[in-house]
Chains A and B, each alone.
Chain A
Amino acid sequence: MMLQIVGASILLIGTFVCMFGAIGLLRLPNFFARTHGASITDTLGATLCLVGMLVFTFGMDESLKVNLLVVVKLISIGVFLLVTSPIAGHALTRAAYRKGLGGDGAPDLEDVAKLPFGIHGPADVTERLEGGQKWLPPEARVDSTLPSDHPINKPETMDNSEQGSTPTGEGEQS
C-alpha cells in the first residue's frame, strides 16, 4: 500500500506540472512562448504521470503477469509520447514561423541557418530586424562587428561599411 501512495503522489505532482503548463498556455504573450508552456506539459508532466502510474502498478496486488502487461503498456505509451510530442511541437512552430507569425521582418529559416549567431545575432542585425526595415540576406549585408574577411562581408559591399550603423544600399543592390 505504500507503493500506491508514492505512485499517486508522483502522479499528482505530474498533473500539477501539467496545470502550470496550461496556465502558461493561457497567459503567455505570444505564440512561441505558448509553445514553451505546452511543451513542458508534454514532456515533464506526462513523464511524471506515467512514472507515477508505473510505481502505482507495482503496489497493486494483482498477479505478476497482469502487472507485467500493464508495465509494458505504460512504457510503450511513455516512449511514444516522448518521441511524438516534440516532433509535433517542432512541426507546429516551424509551420507558424514559415507562415509569418514571427513578425514582418522575420528572416527565412535557410538564412537564419547561415547567420553566425543565429537569430539573436550582433546588435545591429537585431536593430535592423526591429526597426521595421527589410531584412537583408547574408549576401547583401554589411556587418561591421565581424572581421572584414568574414564571408558575410563581401568584397564589393565592404566599401560602404565605414559607418556600419545603418544598412546601406537596400534596394539598389540587385
Chain B
Amino acid sequence: MIDPIASNLLFVSTITVLMTMLLAIVRAFMGPSVYDRILAVNMFGTKTVILIGVLGYLTGRPAFLDIALVYALMNFITTIAVLRYSDFEESPEPNPNADQEVV
C-alpha cells in the first residue's frame, strides 16, 4: 500500500521529470551542432529510465524496473553508435601528407 503523501510526492516527481525531458528535447531540436543534439538525446534517454522507474512505483508495480534497465543499456549503445558514425564519416585512414604540412 502506498502512502497518500508519498503518492503525491511521486506525482510531483513525475511532472518534474517530464519537464526535464521537455527541456532536453527543446535543446535537441534547436541545438546548433550535431553534438548538442546527441547530448540532449542522451540525457533524454537517461531521464526516460528515471521516468519509467518512478511510474512503476506510482502505479505500485516495481517490475517496470526491468524495462528501465533495458532502456539504460539501449541508450548507451545508441550514443556510442551515433558517435562512431559521426567520428568516421570523413576518412578513417590518416592523411598521407600530414608530415609535409607547414605548421
Contact = CB atoms under 8 A, between A and B. Distances in A.
Contacts, number: 163
Contacts of A91: 79-80, 83
Interface in A50-74: 50, 53, 56-57, 59-61, 70, 73-74
Contacts of B62: 57, 60, 70, 73
Nearest to A15: B16
A140 B39 contact: no
B12 A12 contact: yes
B13 A73 contact: no
A163 interface: no
17 contacts: A5-B6, A7-B6, A8-B5, A11-B13, A18-B50, A22-B24, A31-B39, A34-B39, A35-B39, A41-B43, A53-B57, A73-B69, A77-B49, A77-B68, A84-B76, A88-B83, A96-B33
B9 to A, nearest CB: 4
Contacts of A136: 103
A142 interface: no
Contacts of B83: 88, 91-92, 95
B42 A38 contact: yes
Contacts of A50: 53
Interface of B: 1-3, 5-6, 9-10, 12-13, 16-17, 19-20, 23-24, 26-27, 33, 35-36, 38-40, 42-43, 46-47, 49-50, 53-54, 57, 62, 65-66, 68-69, 72-73, 75-76, 79-80, 83, 86-87, 102-103
Given A5-B5, A84-B76, A101-B35, A25 B24 contact: yes
B46 A15 contact: no
A11 B9 contact: yes
Main secondary structure of the interface of A (DSSP, over half): helix
Nearest to B87: A95
B43 A38 contact: yes
Interface residues of A, number: 61
A66 B58 CA distance: 17
A67 B65 CA distance: 12
A9 interface: yes
A42 interface: yes
A92 B38 contact: yes
A74 B54 CA distance: 12
A38 B36 CA distance: 10
Nearest to A32: B35
Contacts of B24: 22, 25
Contacts of B49: 46, 77, 81
Nearest to A35: B39
